[in-house]
Structure 1
Amino acid sequence: MSRDAAEFGIVTSRYAVFYAPSPDSALWAFGSGLIGYDAESGASLPCPEGLPCPPAEWRALTEEPRRYGFHGTLKAPFSLAGGSADSDLVTAARDFASGRSAFDLPGLDVVTIGAFTALAPTSRSNALEDLAADSVRAFEPFRAPLSAADRERRLRAPLSGRQIGHLDRWGYPYVFDEFRFHMTLTGPLPDRLREPVRASLQQRYAALRPGLRVDAVAIFRQPDRAGPFRVLARLPFGGPPVSYISPGRPPPAAS
């Protein structure tokens, strides 16, 4: 919950437009297993074996991506603008997805970005960049203005003047020319673990090599800032949604 809302005792849900692999895919199992959370079912997952650090440390290092679920950002998390309901957002996402066609990325690698580890495309994709840019614009009417507390939090990171301009206009600094698609696998890692973790996860991914077919967008919902995001709806390109989770439906008990 933002400080602005907390002062008035208001619980504010947040939403995001993400790419999420199909929940029955090898890629979803790979990413969700590493972060220890399945955002489709809401279930906690056991720590994988054979990682270059103890399970307790791994749980701590993946705390941040676990809160968001395995995903690639298209429209960063936002609170709904006044007068909008999550059903309106899902309807708009269905319309957005119905006119798009699926595409494949040439490949993914495990890379280090700053201090964290992620899956990222091996080369640029115009189709992916267009999808992200279109998502930023199409869902902007649903985004409530950025709170003062959230803007202050974003400004703690070193941002260029252009990134600050994106932040103030779109609520997120890394859009359009600043966009870099990635699917986060860890939070910030200490120096001693960055290369061992990257190499270990790359080896796991290379054994799997599931590829990446972009064939849907997903609406994720976070009930409050302390809770994890869950898949609210997954909207396949060219068709109707295959799943919809009512905001009132509780997640299953943690395993």
Structure 2
Amino acid sequence: MTFTRYAIYYAPPADAAWSKWATQWLGWDMGVGAEVAHPEGGKLDVAAITATPRKYGLHATMKPPMRLAMGTDEGALRAACAALAATRAPIMLDGLQIERLGRFLALRPIGDVSALNALAAACVTELDPFRAPAPAAEVEKRRAAGLSPEQDAHLLQWGYPYVLDQFRFHITLTGKLPKGDLPAVEGFLASELAPLLPQPFVITDLALMGEDAEGRFHLIQRYPLAA
């Protein structure tokens, strides 16, 4: 398969009960590259609630999607991902919990995130030679959303505003919701997903992802954190 962009994700384990449920909730299994049926959501329109994050799959972004720079290729990127992962140790946190981030819902880590943030920073900086500059129109679109000076500087240097000191690890569960809808969706996830969430929460690998021509992301390869 030919990919238009690549990204480095934390991809939850495919065999865990919580990630199986959350993958169905989103409706896209990036491991097999196929749509999956949503769980029964009662009165909730799960397809509409998850429409925006569906194409990305169940993940946390470590290095945002990028087009490959001239002179690089997927094979070299694979080798660089393997080399980076080999220098980093698995990360253990206390758990995951459902949180509101503005008007969308996500899973956020519980515990000391310093090692996790350092891993994300390494992904952003050490793999940046593989990133082609973003088109000017894409940069201006991000700027139009309103960025802090720090975020604008990151956008220009790293191609994305929410990296390094602006990074917040999160696994997106919904698109942006009307404020009045948040309590019902949050309550449903608290009932169905929260009891399945891992304690502790352990990150054992990084995942190289590829975006297909339709904008959906596929798992290319996992790289164990082996230091």
Indicate the TM-score class for this superposition, using the shorter chain for normalisation. over 0.9
Q: Which residue of 2 aligns with 1:46?
A: 37
Contact 1:65-1:187 within 8 A present in 2 as well = yes
**How big is each residue's C-alpha offset from its partner over 1:158-183, in whole Å with a ceiling of 9 and x where there is no partner?**
21111001000000101111110000
Q: Distance in 1 between matches of 2:93 and 2:197?
A: 12
Aligned length: 225
Per the TM alignment, residue 52 of structure 1 is displaced from its structure 2 partner at its CA by 4.5
Per the TM alignment, residue 12 of structure 1 is displaced from its structure 2 partner at its CA by 7.0
Contact 1:12-1:223 within 8 A present in 2 as well = yes
Q: Which residue of 1 aligns with 2:19?
A: 28
Contact 2:28-2:35 within 8 A present in 1 as well = yes
1:221 paired with 2:210, answer yes
Q: Which residue of 1 aligns with 2:91?
A: 103
Give 3-state SS (helix, strand or coil) of 2:134's partner. Answer: coil
Aligned-residue identity in percent: 39
Q: Which residue of 2 aligns with 1:121?
A: 109
Q: Which residue of 1 aligns with 2:69?
A: 81
Q: Which residue of 2 aligns with 1:180?
A: 168
Structure 1 length normalisation: TM-score?
A: 0.83
Per the TM alignment, residue 154 of structure 1 is displaced from its structure 2 partner at its CA by 1.1
1:146 paired with 2:138, answer no
Match of 1:169 among 157, 175, 178: 157
Match of 1:235 among 211, 214, 223: 223
Moved over 4 A (4+): none
Per the TM alignment, residue 22 of structure 1 is displaced from its structure 2 partner at its CA by 1.8
Structure 2 length normalisation: TM-score?
A: 0.93
Counterpart amino acid of residue 45 in structure 1:
V
1:112 paired with 2:113, answer no
Per the TM alignment, residue 124 of structure 1 is displaced from its structure 2 partner at its CA by 3.7
1:17 paired with 2:5, answer no
Counterpart amino acid of residue 114 in structure 2:
N
**How big is each residue's C-alpha offset from its partner over 1:109-162, in whole Å with a ceiling of 9 and x where there is no partner?**
111111111001134411101101111111100000011121122123221111
Aligned-residue RMSD, C-alpha = 1.7
Counterpart amino acid of residue 206 in structure 2:
V
Contact 2:66-2:131 within 8 A present in 1 as well = yes
Q: Distance in 2 between matches of 1:90 and 1:234?
A: 10
Q: Distance in 1 between matches of 2:141 and 2:23?
A: 27
- 1:164 to 1:51, Cα distance in 2 relative to 1, 3 A: farther
Contact 1:109-1:202 within 8 A present in 2 as well = no
